[in-house]
Amino acid sequence: MATAQIFPFEIPRNEKENYFRMHLLLEHATDVLRDVLRTQLKAAYPGLFDPSKTDKLFDVLDNLQVKHTLLLLKNRKVINSSQMKLLYPSGTPSTTVTTQDLDITLAVVLLRNITNLNPHAKWENPPASDTSIEANIGRVKTYRNQLSHGHRLGLTDTSFQTEFNALKHVLLSLSPIYTSDHYDKLLIMPLEAKVAPCQLLSLQLPGKFADLKGREDMVQQIQQHIAGETRLVLLTGMGGIGKTSVAIEVGHREQKVLFIDMRQVTNLESVKLSLVQHYHPTSSLKDLYSDYQNVFIQSLSSLTSDTVIIFDNNDEVMKSNLQEFHKLIQDILNSTKHITLLCTSREAFSQMSHYMAVIDLPPLDKAPSIDILWEGKTSRPTDSESVVLSEIAEKCGGNPLALKLLSVQLKKKTAQRVLDRIKNKNVIESLKVANLPASQEMMACLDMSYETLNTEEKRVFRALHMFPVSFSLEEVSEMFKIDEDKCESILDSLSNKSLLSSDLSSFDLHPLLRAYAEFQARKDQNEIAHIQDAYCKYYMKQTPLLLSEFDTLPSKETYAKAQKILPHLRLIAGLLSDQLSNNKPSDTDIFINLFHIACVFQNLFLYPEAFSILNSLKTLIQKDPFRSFDGLVHMFIGNVLYGMGKYKDAYNFYQRGVIKLTKILGSSHPEMASVYSNMGNFLMEMGKYTESISYMQKCLEVQQENLGSNHPEIADTYSGIADTLRSIGKYTEALSNQKKCIEILEGVLGPKHPKTAMKYDAHGTILKEMGRFREAFTFHQKSIDVLESSFGSKNIYTASAYSNIGEVYRLMGKYREALKYNKKSLSVFEEIHGPKHPRTAKIYINLGNTLSEMGKNPDALAYYKKSHAILKDVLGPRHIETVKTITNMCLILKETGKPEDALKYYSENLDIMTELMGPKHPETSAIYHGIGGCFLDMGIYEVAVACYHKCLEGREEVLGPNHPNTANTYSRMGLALAYMGKNREALTYHNKCLGAREIVLGFKHPDTVSEYSNKGHALSELGEHAEALKYYEKALDVRREILGDKHPDTALLYRNIGCVLHDMGKYSEALTYYEKCLEVYHEHFGPDHEMTVTLNIKVHFIKLIILSKVLVNMSKYLATELIVKGKFNQASRFLNFIDWKFKLYKF
């Protein structure tokens, strides 16, 4: 559901789609400029750069003239520090950078300044008449700037067409790497991208610390615990003692290691989610969330090799969520014996149920302490210096962080002077930093380092306390409005003074130093307010675009952006909540920002955080100026509750949200269309189909009033209504709505547009369920032709169409063709999603269905089990899609004579489905139907009838008496009653079934035909053979017309008619039908199949009957001839042979 509806009046969806399509075109523009750069560099540096051999820029960057030019550009601030660092890390040319690493800005700078292009040409704002390469490159950059730096996240249709065509023309003139057709496909490519897999938390082990000194014994001790039976190693000690350094060193010595910096954790459930994602890397958060608790346990319990998980920096988590932290530890250790946890914190905690070792890191010994203090010196300390250094180390408590801070002082001051400063430093106890277990001497070290900073460095250092995790140069520079070069110089200075740690791309502040920086910043309330304001504004300005991406084009990059700012949003949410409740209760900007944060949390499936924020906002919406947000907040709380599986609560909030939004906006406001649509989709998923259609109709009315009658969004609504109607078996109405959808799309987009093609596919699905297979085939093929032309065969949408046409082939009995398309579809899904993705699992089900129809039950069962295992592993055993796969497995088990095994599966999942969806949800009813079938096959007919009654309670109420699924249960109830000898009651249910199917499906639908056959059987059991024969023949006529003479279902009717004729004593006619059936069974199932063998026996038996009748008639004939001739004794022998008693009477 839309989460970018920040205000009741949001940007129209078509304008947002236009915006993102322009983004897609600009991604291609980046490739084009890189291609132009390769061409120009080859021409300018023929001996140094040849893209046919390598794309690396090292030789060009090593050119003295290029170096000089780029250095001048940096001094003139044309190139910033980050760009220079990319090209010249550590001041020397990069050995790895290629043109593929360059963005548009840097590519344009290089094109303009180090190639043969004219740097003085009209690169900016060229006249229309200027079509030079320079002018066109400049135009590309202008388009990028306008789109990236504009404030509106949308483009009108007119603006979009004009800008798209203009930029496309420019790109075609610059490079041939993309064709006009390729660009045009960006206009029709569906933006409903799959929710991409993306790690919620980073699990990557950081790089080793090169200067770890004096800790080898600790590292080895921890490794011994890991190698032994210890399951939990707790590494404790004061701040700065080196817990993280030791943990990372241990991590680099172990084979399989996961590392989580707990500072980035928004809640502890996100840790579980991240571990689940790690073990299911191709699955999205959406796929995983619904049952991640069970998937978490299942994933860990299936481990077969040992893994070390490091939880670093646990102090804040333990302070705020100690019980939950204990539970997380317990859950991990209880789930597997193959994980050892290594946790770092200042304080120890107790976890009594597992082998645990607590290692308190001691102060460093004198020798490594002196090594750290004297680091960077070329000569060894003198004896007198060593004595002083020993005293300094003692004053520092052997704390590595304090020693590093003082080592910087020792580079400029004598050891004695540093020691004197420590002794003379007066630290007031009340000014100590909260949570900082530091002595006066430790505080002295911090103060001494802080005092070495200049005013600007102090200001930046204080501001850095806002970052809960590592940060980049660009973040600090932009957030606090500092020139990037100057900012880099300040951060480098802080790093050199050991107040920051850094690598090539980021900086980090030690938790103890962060607490100290915050302590210094809080001395000035105005300054702390300014820092917090800058911090909040920097990250909050990113959320509207992020939410718009989630709503329109969620990609892996979208989730990566969200992951990066997640710890910041958590911190900001706390700050804004305090402001809203204490300082600025009427500030709508704060309200909206909190709403944004809740929406990001919701999109990342962090529902408890989202609910907490939205619930706090709900308490304010009765006051001005927040009343206009009342309905919106209720709707989004409904979204969150639905995601949490609290469906009844979600339904209540949705209802209230709709009422409130209608009151605020009016029932015909354009925004109400999406509100009604969302409500309709929710109700459909809940199985409330009638209410769902009602809301979709409301949506349609609003759209027609505001958009006219031929808008693509109206087509989508018609299609949604059609899908719901199809779900309740109202196929004629569904077909009518789908036709309206197609008519609009053909008129607006044309018949060759992929979106139109997808609706052809949906139309085919309705026809398929109506039994109109040939028409369905036509629409599916039409869809495939367009999709293959637009996207090729290796596309998800094309593969889905392959799957659907395969299903039609299966139902038509053309199994080889069905298998061909099943496998064609499967190969695409496996290539794109991987073999263990839920969508791939559904194709395995289709393959199983086809193989089952072919009588290859073991192969079918293998595919069903494969599908079930994937869904159980990825989505969890309690997910609705996992439970639904049980039905397929159970059908095979029943067919192979194992109803008891099927019953076990059904019973296990009945409780799950009842809990998830309620006792009368269609999926719950389906399980009752399946259980009834098991008891029917086991001959326990009374229980079967009870199960069918339970099923009908749900189906008649939710789906109605004429729904195809309700009719199915009527049919099965009739069979169960017939087996109990209650043939009259059975006939009543068969009549109910037939009445429903004739109304909904028509007279020629396969299911209607099956019920003609069932009614024929019931009549036959009542001895009404002539009437039974009439229904069998009626069924046969239709099956031969639709499926042909050689289909197994047609053969079944040959057999049934043969049975009735057999019972009527018409043996020769019966044999004719039996033999027709046998011919089909031989062809489809083979001579050794159980059905073929059984029918063979029946054929032999009836042949014996016919033969015996022939013998009887022959015996009678011969006896008659002999009697006429007066040969009575011989006649008597013939008649005795056929068991007739002959006695001659004399008159």
Same fold, 792-869 and 870-1086: yes
Rounded to 5, what percent of the chain is helix, strand, coil? 70, 5, 30
Cross-strand bridge partners of residue 501: 508
pLDDT of amino acid 686: 78
Q: What is the pLDDT of residue 192?
A: 54
Nearest to 909 by CA among 895, 939, 935, 929: 929
Residue recorded with tokens 């304010």: 620
First to last CA, the chain: 103
Helix, strand or coil, per DSSP, at residue 366: helix
Amino acid 282: pLDDT: 66
**What's at 459, amino acid-wise?**
R
Please tell me which residue, 204 or 194, carries the higher pLDDT value.
204
For the chain, domain boundaries: 13-188, 216-362, 383-537, 715-784, 792-869, 870-1086
Can you tell me the distance from the alpha carbon of 243 to that of 651, in angstroms, rounded to the nearest whole number?
Answer: 49
Judge whether residue 732 has pLDDT over 80.
yes
pLDDT above 70 coverage of the chain, percent: 91
CATH fold group of domain 792-869: 1.25.40
Q: How much is the pLDDT for 962?
A: 85
pLDDT higher than 90, residue 281 = no
Q: What is the pLDDT of residue 734?
A: 93
pLDDT for res 9: 41
pLDDT at 873 over 80: no
User: What average pLDDT does this structure show over 293-298?
Assistant: 79
Count of residues making up the chain: 1147
Q: Over 60: is that where the pLDDT of 1144 sits?
A: no
**Dihedrals φ, ψ of 175, to 5°?**
-155, 145
Whether 43 has a pLDDT exceeding 70, the answer reads yes
- pLDDT value at residue 1134: 63
Residue 825 phi/psi, 5° resolution?
Answer: -65, -45
Chain centroid to CA 1047: how far? 40
Handedness of CA 456, 457, 460, 463 (dihedral sign): negative
**pLDDT (tens digit per residue) in 688-704:** 888 999 999 999 999 99
Residue 1146 has pLDDT above 70, yes or no: no
Angle at the Cα of 945 from the Cα atoms of 941 and 947, rounded to 5 degrees: 115
The whole-angstrom separation of Cα 409 and Cα 294 is 54
CATH 3.40.50.300 is held by the domain 216-362: yes
Residue 7 has pLDDT above 70, yes or no: no
Q: Looking at the predicted structure, is the pLDDT value of residue 403 above 80?
A: yes
pLDDT value at residue 199: 59
Q: What is the CATH number of domain 870-1086?
A: 1.25.40.10
DSSP structure class, residue 472: -
Conformational region of residue 377, where left means phi above 0, alpha means psi within -120 to 50, and beta covers everything else: beta
- For the beta carbon of residue 323, count every other beta carbon within 10 angstroms: 8
DSSP 644-697: TT-HHHHHHHHHHHHHHHHHHH-TT-HHHHHHHHHHHHHHHHTT-HHHHHHHHH
Distance CA 649, CA 634 (A): 11
835 CB burial (10 A radius; 0-12, 13-18, 19+): middle
Q: Is the pLDDT of residue 1138 over 70?
A: no
133-137, 271-275, 976-980: lowest mean pLDDT where?
271-275
What is the pLDDT at residue 1147?
35
- CB neighbours of residue 361 within 10 Å: 20
**Cα 944 to Cα 125, 887, 925, 979, 1130, distances in angstroms:** 80, 16, 14, 11, 60
pLDDT tens digit sequence for 950-972: 999 988 888 888 888 898 999 99
* pLDDT value of residue 286: 65
When comparing pLDDT for 360 and 1130, which is higher?
Answer: 360
Q: How high does pLDDT run on average in the chain? A: 85
Task: Read off the pLDDT of residues 216-252 as tens digits, 9 standing for 90 and up.
Answer: 999 999 999 999 989 999 999 888 888 999 999 999 9
- Confidence (pLDDT) at 309: 94
Where does the pLDDT of residue 150 fall: very low under 50, low under 70, confident under 90, or very high at 90 and above?
Answer: low
Lowest mean pLDDT among 70-74, 606-610, 737-741: 606-610
Q: Which residue has the higher pLDDT, 591 or 202?
A: 591
343 sits in which H/E element: strand 339-345
pLDDT bin (cut points 50, 70, 90) of residue 290 is low
Q: Residue 190 burial by CB count (10 A; 0-12/13-18/19+): exposed, middle or buried?
A: middle
Peptide bond connecting 625 to the previous residue in cis, omega within 30 degrees of 0:
yes
Closest to 543 (Cα-Cα) out of 121, 32, 4: 4
pLDDT-derived band at 427 (thresholds 50, 70, 90) equals very low
Where does 715-784 sit in CATH, by number? 1.25.40.10
Asked if residue 42 lies in contact with residue 183, where contact means CB atoms within 8 angstroms, the answer is no
Give tens-digit pLDDT for 1054-1073.
998 998 888 888 888 888 98
Placement of tokens 């010196």 in the chain: 377
Q: Has residue 289 got a pLDDT over 90?
A: no
Instruction: Please provide residue 474's backbone torsions phi and psi, each rounded to the nearest 5 degrees.
Output: -60, -40
State the pLDDT confidence band at 193, using cuts at 50, 70 and 90. very low
Query: Do residues 1084 and 1048 make contact, with C-beta atoms less than 8 angstroms apart?
Result: yes
- Determine whether domain 383-537 maps to CATH 1.10.10.10: yes
Is the whole-model pTM more than 0.75?
no
How many whole angstroms separate alpha carbon 613 and alpha carbon 302? 36
| pLDDT at residue 135 greater than cutoff 50 | yes
What's the pLDDT tens digit per position in 94-118? 999 999 999 888 999 999 999 999 9
pLDDT digits (tens, 9 = 90+) for 641-689: 887 777 788 889 999 999 988 888 888 888 888 889 889 988 887 778 8
